Protein backbone atom coordinates (compact mmCIF):
# COMPACT_ATOMS: atom_id res chain seq x y z
CA UNK A 1 0.00 0.00 0.00
CA UNK A 2 2.77 2.43 0.83
CA UNK A 3 4.41 1.60 -2.50
CA UNK A 4 1.22 2.50 -4.38
CA UNK A 5 1.10 5.84 -2.53
CA UNK A 6 4.74 6.54 -3.45
CA UNK A 7 4.02 5.66 -7.08
CA UNK A 8 1.08 8.05 -7.14
CA UNK A 9 3.22 10.79 -5.62
CA UNK A 10 5.97 10.22 -8.20
CA UNK A 11 3.45 10.27 -11.04
CA UNK A 12 2.82 13.97 -10.49
CA UNK A 13 5.17 16.07 -12.61
CA UNK A 14 6.98 18.22 -10.07
CA UNK A 15 8.25 20.63 -12.74
CA UNK A 16 4.76 22.10 -13.09
CA UNK A 17 3.90 21.63 -9.43
CA UNK A 18 1.57 24.06 -7.73
CA UNK A 19 2.77 24.84 -4.24
CA UNK A 20 0.26 24.14 -1.51
CA UNK A 21 -0.39 26.50 1.35
CA UNK A 22 -1.44 25.76 4.88
CA UNK A 23 -4.38 27.66 6.31
CA UNK A 24 -4.50 27.98 10.08
CA UNK A 25 -8.07 27.70 11.25
CA UNK A 26 -9.07 29.57 14.42
CA UNK A 27 -9.09 27.48 17.59
CA UNK A 28 -12.88 27.96 17.81
CA UNK A 29 -13.33 26.22 14.45
CA UNK A 30 -10.96 23.38 15.39
CA UNK A 31 -12.82 22.90 18.69
CA UNK A 32 -16.11 22.52 16.83
CA UNK A 33 -14.53 20.04 14.42
CA UNK A 34 -13.26 17.81 17.23
CA UNK A 35 -16.73 16.34 17.67
CA UNK A 36 -16.89 15.22 14.03
CA UNK A 37 -14.90 12.17 12.98
CA UNK A 38 -13.98 10.91 9.55
CA UNK A 39 -16.05 7.83 10.37
CA UNK A 40 -19.05 10.11 11.00
CA UNK A 41 -18.56 11.76 7.61
CA UNK A 42 -18.15 8.43 5.81
CA UNK A 43 -21.31 7.12 7.46
CA UNK A 44 -23.44 10.14 6.52
CA UNK A 45 -25.12 9.88 3.09
CA UNK A 46 -24.89 13.67 2.62
CA UNK A 47 -21.11 13.72 3.04
CA UNK A 48 -19.86 10.33 1.79
CA UNK A 49 -19.15 11.21 -1.83
CA UNK A 50 -17.66 14.61 -0.94
CA UNK A 51 -15.34 13.17 1.69
CA UNK A 52 -14.01 10.43 -0.58
CA UNK A 53 -13.45 13.02 -3.30
CA UNK A 54 -11.68 15.35 -0.87
CA UNK A 55 -9.37 12.79 0.69
CA UNK A 56 -8.61 11.20 -2.68
CA UNK A 57 -7.59 14.58 -4.08
CA UNK A 58 -5.63 15.34 -0.93
CA UNK A 59 -3.73 12.09 -1.33
CA UNK A 60 -3.06 12.71 -5.02
CA UNK A 61 -1.82 16.26 -4.52
CA UNK A 62 0.02 15.73 -1.22
CA UNK A 63 3.41 16.28 -2.93
CA UNK A 64 2.40 19.89 -3.55
CA UNK A 65 2.28 20.40 0.21
CA UNK A 66 5.60 18.80 1.16
CA UNK A 67 7.12 22.18 1.99
CA UNK A 68 4.44 22.93 4.59
CA UNK A 69 3.71 19.43 5.97
CA UNK A 70 5.00 18.31 9.33
CA UNK A 71 5.87 14.65 10.03
CA UNK A 72 2.42 14.17 11.61
CA UNK A 73 0.85 15.42 8.38
CA UNK A 74 2.84 12.97 6.27
CA UNK A 75 1.75 10.17 8.60
CA UNK A 76 -1.88 11.29 8.24
CA UNK A 77 -1.54 11.11 4.46
CA UNK A 78 -0.25 7.55 4.75
CA UNK A 79 -3.27 6.65 6.91
CA UNK A 80 -5.59 8.28 4.39
CA UNK A 81 -4.04 6.34 1.52
CA UNK A 82 -4.38 3.11 3.51
CA UNK A 83 -8.05 3.90 4.06
CA UNK A 84 -8.57 4.68 0.38
CA UNK A 85 -6.86 1.44 -0.61
CA UNK A 86 -9.38 -0.47 1.51
CA UNK A 87 -12.35 0.91 -0.46
CA UNK A 88 -12.96 -1.01 -3.71
CA UNK A 89 -12.21 1.08 -6.79
CA UNK A 90 -15.70 0.61 -8.25
CA UNK A 91 -17.21 2.09 -5.07
CA UNK A 92 -14.84 5.08 -5.20
CA UNK A 93 -15.71 5.60 -8.87
CA UNK A 94 -19.42 5.58 -8.04
CA UNK A 95 -18.84 8.22 -5.37
CA UNK A 96 -16.75 10.33 -7.77
CA UNK A 97 -19.49 10.12 -10.39
CA UNK A 98 -22.00 11.28 -7.80
CA UNK A 99 -19.95 14.37 -6.95
CA UNK A 100 -19.52 15.06 -10.66
CA UNK A 101 -23.27 14.83 -11.21
CA UNK A 102 -23.94 17.25 -8.35
CA UNK A 103 -21.38 19.72 -9.71
CA UNK A 104 -22.70 19.53 -13.28
CA UNK A 105 -26.27 19.94 -12.05
CA UNK A 106 -25.31 22.96 -9.98
CA UNK A 107 -23.47 24.58 -12.89
CA UNK A 108 -26.51 24.13 -15.12
CA UNK A 109 -28.67 25.89 -12.52
CA UNK A 110 -26.45 28.96 -12.39
Residue 14 domain-assigned (yes or no): no
pTM as predicted = 0.75
Does residue 85 lie in a domain region?
A: yes
For the chain, percent of residues with pLDDT exceeding 90: 72
Determine, yes or no, domain membership for 15.
no
Mean pLDDT of the chain: 86
Look at residue 94 and tell me if it is in a domain.
yes
pLDDT (0 to 100) of residue 110: 86
Domain count, the chain: 1
pLDDT at 17: 55
Query: Is residue 13 a part of any domain in this protein?
Result: no
Tens of pLDDT along 33-61? 999 999 999 999 999 999 999 999 999 99
pLDDT value at position 22? 78
Structural domain contains residue 81:
yes
Asked if residue 77 belongs to a domain, the reply is yes
Does a structural domain hold residue 1? Answer: no
What's the pLDDT score for residue 3?
Answer: 44
Q: Which domain holds residue 99?
A: 39-110
Query: Three-class SS string for the chain?
Result: CHHHHHHHHHHCCHHHCCCCCCCCCCHHHHHHHCCCCHHHHHHCCCCHHHHHHHHHHHHHHHHHHCCCCCHHHHHHHHHHHHHHHCCCHHHHHHHHHHHHHHHHHHHHHC
Amino acid sequence: METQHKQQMQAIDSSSRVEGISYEFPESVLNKAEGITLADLLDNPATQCWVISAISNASTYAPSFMDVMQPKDSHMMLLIQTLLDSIPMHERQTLFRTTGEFIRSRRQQT
